[in-house]
Amino acid sequence: MRLREIVLIMFAFLLLPGAVCAQNQDADDVKQMFDETLRNGKSYEWLRYLTTQIGPRLSGSARAAEAVNWAKGELQNIADTVWLQPVIVPHWIRGSEEDAYIKGNNKKKNVAMNICALGGSVGTGPGGVTAKVVEVKSIEELSQLGSHRIKGNIVFFNRPMDVTQPRTFDAYIGAVDQRALGPSAAARHGAVGVIVRSMGLNSEDYPHTGSLRYEPDAPKIPAIAISTRHADALSQALKEDSALQFYFETHCEMLSDVQSYNVIAELKGSEYPEKIILAGGHLDSWDLGDGAHDDGAGCVQSMEVIRIYRGLGIKPRHTVRVVLFMNEENGLKGGIEYALQAERNQEQHIAAIEADEGGFAPRGFTMTASQQFRNKVMGWKPALEPYGLTDFSREGGGADIGPLMKFNIPLIGYMPDSQRYFDYHHTKEDTFDKISKRELDLGAGSMAALVRLIDKHPE
């Protein structure tokens, strides 16, 4: 063996005890964060109040404003600094309850269907819409049929989420284009309305709402989601009678934009106060449930990051900033405004973490980051594994922190188990009673642990 190789091996052995010591210290720090939230965490009681006392928080609503004031007050008890960042947001209202049915004839009665208006849709007005139904599986199939088949009819987008996908968010991404883009695509061919199969994996009686996106070159036509069970029933009815007519009536409308706020709180860094580690979720929710999983859980878990630091008496080296974004569900105005103000103020972020996949048990983190940062996180895996954090392989960050991509910083998404998320997503079932306290606390601990490790090892 050459002398140079012997020297390098000896040098490696000399460094090994220091590396092991650093790993042990990281594991101790992670355990400390989890222990604090599992013993003394406030996430669950915060979420109880937010969901059961304030309730659904659609952007522009009075309850969204109430949630802003509540969050500001709670954060003032634990943070060094709290402020409200003005954001102009859309104000869409659902109006009175929707109605829909397959029209009967002389021999058959009307068959009621469970529907809800899609977020941002125009309403039908009194009298509703009645027309024949054309079923398609995709926007491509719609285009192939053409205007001569579509004009004057209701288009029914009926492509299910792919149940074979092990990660349910992949199934969602594979189906959601028909909800977001389907109404304008159908309108270009002369459709008078759109029905979209709900974004759910199970056979359910309740519909899932969610945003559509009207394109400026297409008429605005009313669009609804139908429950998965009734989507199957409608599809079967069309096989038996392709000339059947469908009726639906909605009363939603888009009002004038209103001013709302992102809620921002900080613990100032003791060594690098100008450098920011962001943890956040979105404070708004859809109006059907109370937004417990989407995204009350992410908000209180982010708030708990600061509380854990306070509870342990730890002063972060870098500034830890919690941001509760407004208007993720139907516009993303909070995330866009935050990034705009960060750029104007020449703020220096070193990482951003978002929790917006529900309050379930930890599985890992998604990352849009350099390979160097990924390798660093992989080095922390032994400290994180005992808490279920084992998967760091997927790309992704979060919708609200997405506009920060221009700063070329790591964008990270907290990734809990996803199997039950789309049982509740955007439905009346997304309520506080579906939350496990322990799983919620473990998620808060996951967020705090990663913030702590980034704070200790920024480079």
* pLDDT at site 18: 57
Query: How many whole angstroms separate alpha carbon 264 and alpha carbon 64?
Result: 15
Architecture of domain 95-251: 3-Layer(bba) Sandwich (3.50)
Query: How many whole angstroms separate alpha carbon 9 and alpha carbon 14?
Result: 9
Architecture of domain 29-91+256-456: 3-Layer(aba) Sandwich (3.40)
Strands lying side by side in the sheet with 253-267? 81-93, 253-267, 318-325, 272-282, 348-354, 411-416, 362-368
Q: Domain extents for the chain?
A: 29-91+256-456, 95-251
Residues contacting residue 211 through CB under 8 Å, at least 6 positions apart:
118, 119, 120, 179, 180, 329, 330, 331
pTM of the model: 0.94
Bond before 295 cis per omega within 30 degrees: yes
Instruction: List, for residues 133-152, the tens digit of each pLDDT value.
Output: 999 999 999 999 999 999 99
Nearest Cα neighbor of 249 from 423, 103, 388, 128 is 128
* pLDDT at site 17: 58
The identity of residue 423, as a single letter, is: D
Beta bridge partners of 254: 92
Compute the Cα dihedral for 227, 232, 238, 241 and give only its sign: negative
Query: How many whole angstroms separate alpha carbon 166 and alpha carbon 353?
Result: 24
β-pairing, 129-136 vs 115-117, is unpaired
* pLDDT at site 14: 47
Query: How many whole angstroms separate alpha carbon 183 and alpha carbon 7?
Result: 69
Reading the block at residue 63, the tokens are: 């309850």
Contact predicate 383/27, CB 8 Å: yes
Geometric angle at alpha carbon 270, from 264 and 272, rounded to 5°: 80
* pLDDT at site 7: 46
Other beta carbons within 10 angstroms of residue 15's beta carbon come to 10
Nearest Cα neighbor of 447 from 317, 353, 321, 313 is 353
* pLDDT at site 5: 60
* pLDDT at site 105: 77
Compute the Cα dihedral for 167, 170, 175, 177 and give only its sign: positive
Contact predicate 178/139, CB 8 Å: yes
* pLDDT at site 104: 84
Among the options 98, 135, 328, 429, which is catalytic?
Answer: 328
Would residue 329 show up in a list of annotated catalytic residues for this protein? no
Which class for 39: exposed (0-12), middle (13-18), buried (19 or more C-beta within 10 A)?
Answer: exposed
Token pair 């279920």 is at which residue?
388
Compute the Cα dihedral for 238, 240, 243, 248 and give only its sign: negative
Query: How many whole angstroms separate alpha carbon 389 and alpha carbon 280?
Result: 19
Q: pLDDT tens digits for the chain (459 residues)?
A: 555 665 445 544 545 555 567 778 999 999 999 999 999 999 999 999 999 999 999 999 999 999 999 999 999 999 999 999 999 999 999 999 999 999 987 678 999 999 999 999 999 989 999 999 999 999 999 999 999 999 999 999 999 999 999 999 999 999 999 999 999 999 999 999 999 999 999 999 999 999 999 999 999 999 999 999 999 999 999 999 999 999 999 999 999 999 999 999 999 999 999 999 999 999 999 999 999 999 999 999 999 999 999 999 999 999 999 999 999 999 999 999 999 999 999 999 999 999 999 999 999 999 999 999 999 999 999 999 999 999 999 999 999 999 999 999 999 999 999 999 999 999 999 999 999 999 999 999 999 999 999 999 987
